[in-house]
Each structure stands twice: as C-alpha cells, then as structure tokens.
A = this chain, B = another copy of it.
Amino acid sequence: LAEVLGKPLSPGSTIGILGGGQLGRMLAQAAAQLGLKCHIFCPEKTSPAFEVAASKTAASYNDQDALKAFADSVDAITYEFENIPSETAEFLQKLKPMNPGPKALQMTQDRIIEKRFLRDLAIPVPAFAPVDTLDDLQKALIEIGTPAVLKTRRMGYDGKGQAVIREDTSPEEAFLKIGKKAAILEAFVPFEREVSIIMTTDMQGESWVYAPSENSHENGILSKSHAPAHIHEDTEVEAIEIAGAIAEALNYVGTLAVEFFVTRDQQLLVNEIAPRVHNSGHWTLDACVTSQFENHIRAIAGWPLGSTRHHSAAEMTNLIGPDHDRWLELAADPEVNLHLYGKKEARPGRKMGHMTRLTSLAIPGPSANDT
C-alpha cells in the first residue's frame, strides 16, 4: 500500500501533507492549481500552510486518533520534511499511500545511514566517521583530520546541530556545542561551488530533472541559488546520473533534492539528500514550465509529470529574519518575484520568504536538460 496507488487521483481528491511550513504552503498552492484539495497536519496552531488549504489538523505527530482521522480524510499522503517520527510514518503508511516511501525516510533521517547508503551505491561522499562519545571524536579527528564538521546524526537543518572543527578547536567544546548527541564527523571539503539537483520521479519511475542550481550559504542557511549553475556539461551529466541512481535505489516517487560539493578539479561529492521539495528549487516556481511543487504533487497523485524546462534563468534569494522588513522596497522592484510565507514573527535565522529575479536565457528556446 505504502508506495502504490491504483490509478491517478481525480481532481477534487485530497492530498494529506505532514508539516505546515512554507514548503507545505507552496505544495498546497500547487495542488490547488490542479483542482486537488489539501489537508495539512501540523503540531503548530498557526502554520503558514493552514491559510491556503481546504482542511487542517493542529495535533501532535504522536496523536494516533488525530492521525487516524487525518488518514481517513485524505486520498494520499506526503510530507514537507524528512524528520517525521518513524512511528508516525509507519502508522500512516498502513492506512493510505504515502510518498516518498519508507526507504526514502529510513535512508535520510540519519546522516550516518545516509552516507553509508551512498557509499554502498559507489557515490562519492566526504570522508566520515560516526561519533557517539568524545573518545570516538578524538579517534575520528585523527583519521579524518581538520578542518572537519561535526553534525548531529538526526534532526539537523539550516546549520543547526553543527560545529566546524579547525586545528585549534577544542573537540570537547565542539561536542558540547552539538549537545553531545550521536553525531557524524565529516571531512571539510574545499569546494569550488555547491550545486543541487532537483528531480521528480513519477509512479512509473520516469524522472524529469531541473537545470542544476548553484547555491551559497550564510551561517549554515541557504542564502542564494542561481540557475542554471555554472558547471561543465560533463559535471552536470554526472550529477544527474547520481541523482537518478539515488532515486532508483530508494524506489522514489516525488521531488528529490541532492546537494553536491564541486571541487576545483570538478569532482562531485554528495553533501546531503532531501526526500522532498527543497529551498534550492524555489526558483522553479517562476522560471520553469512546471515547478518542483507542482511536479511533486503530480507524482504523489499518480499523475504524469510536467516539463521541467526553464524559460528564463533565475536568481533566488532567501529572505531571512529581518530581511522581511524590506518587503515594500523589494515589492517596488518590478522584476522581483516576491514570495512571502505569512509567518508572523521575523525571528533571526527564520525563513520568511524568498524572491526570484528572472533573466533572459543566453540561448533562447527549449533547453535540453530533461532526462
């Protein structure tokens, strides 16, 4: 049941979405365009996605009665983030088709499991070692060297639960900084650029890929993406092949994001997999025939996918915390596509919105980035 849906969901059907943040909000808006309703399940009482969805449940992910009622009210289930408690996922997967499926969650919730999964597929990743104790960390540092990055195995996002360890950093302090949690030590990769591949796979296993985006981070949070990325065609082809191999190994249905480091000699190393729509794919809303959100909804509803062709090049900038105060100034630039998430409090580090600026393609006409 978990991954299989007999036939495409008809317009008027209801998609259940776990998580009510901006990704859930943009998924719900994409579903509405296709005549599909959404039911958002989220613990927070005032969730951005609630305002644009036909139904909502504000309840804990452990509330089995609420989960049961949610599953009864929907035709298919998806999620906006991979850190759903595994009991919640297992409970729901028994009741309604949920995509991406169980393997996608198992392989991406824990950084060690994710890295081993990639290594088993012969996909290059930075050197890594598991760290459960300070003693483990000391040994791992001898093996991997500095600089390195210590990250919690689970629940990290936007640079949370991470500590960079340099030659003069005290391992004790780094381990304390991440809360002495089960962790992974990863070699710091001296990369030339960070790129990501956003790809959507339908229920027949057919994948459509977007042009790679090139990403820059500030304080561990994505700051800007521009697409298409400035990478060699061979590098692009290799990145797409890796994303395809990951999707295949996960029996993936939906939109998948794979973040890469590109080294100076054009080697690709996978940094992270996200089994969901991704911030580095927000540019697709304004620059592509079909956005990553719409294609995710199409995939999990059993529909054929739309073209990932971009009609324009794009630069996406996140609006983080107090950036939101500049909304009127940004709205005054007619070439800016402004997206605000309806969040009340502009706390530091909080993603409040994003903006995309389109530019003409160097070479007009359809691009050749579809697989």
Contacts and interface: CB of A to CB of B under 8 A. Distances in A.
Interface of A: 8, 10-12, 25, 28-29, 32-35, 37, 50-54, 208, 286, 289-290, 298, 303-307, 309, 311-312, 324, 327-328, 331-332, 334-342, 344, 353, 358, 360-361, 364-366
Contact of A304 (B54, B298, B307, B331): B331
Given A8-B328, A29-B33, A32-B29, A361 B364 contact: yes
Contacts of A33: 29, 338-340
Nearest to A37: B51
A12 B366 contact: no
20 contacts: A11-B324, A11-B327, A12-B342, A29-B33, A32-B52, A35-B327, A35-B340, A35-B341, A52-B53, A52-B54, A286-B289, A289-B337, A306-B334, A306-B337, A311-B312, A311-B358, A311-B360, A360-B364, A360-B365, A360-B366
Given A29-B29, A29-B32, A334 B361 contact: no
A360 B334 CA distance: 22
Contacts of A365: 360
Nearest to A357: B289
A25 B34 CA distance: 12
A342 B11 contact: yes
Given A11-B342, A52-B53, 7 more contacts: A11-B324, A11-B340, A28-B52, A35-B327, A289-B334, A311-B311, A361-B364
A32 B32 CA distance: 12
Say how many copies of this protein the assembly contains: 2
Contact of A342 (B35, B52, B298, B334): B35
A141 to B, nearest CB: 45
A328 B286 CA distance: 24
A245 B51 CA distance: 38
Nearest to A330: B304
A125 to B, nearest CB: 33
A309 B359 CA distance: 12
B364 A35 contact: no
A208 B334 CA distance: 10
A12 B366 CA distance: 38
Contacts of A53: 51-52
Nearest to A344: B12
Contacts of A34: 331, 338-340
Contacts of A298: 331
A105 to B, nearest CB: 27
A33 to B, nearest CB: 6
A114 B33 CA distance: 34
Contacts of A25: 32
Contacts of A289: 286, 334-335, 337, 358
Contact of A334 (B10, B37, B307): B307
Among all A-B residue pairs, the 4 with the closest Cβ atoms: A35-B340, A364-B364, A307-B334, A51-B54
Nearest to A327: B11
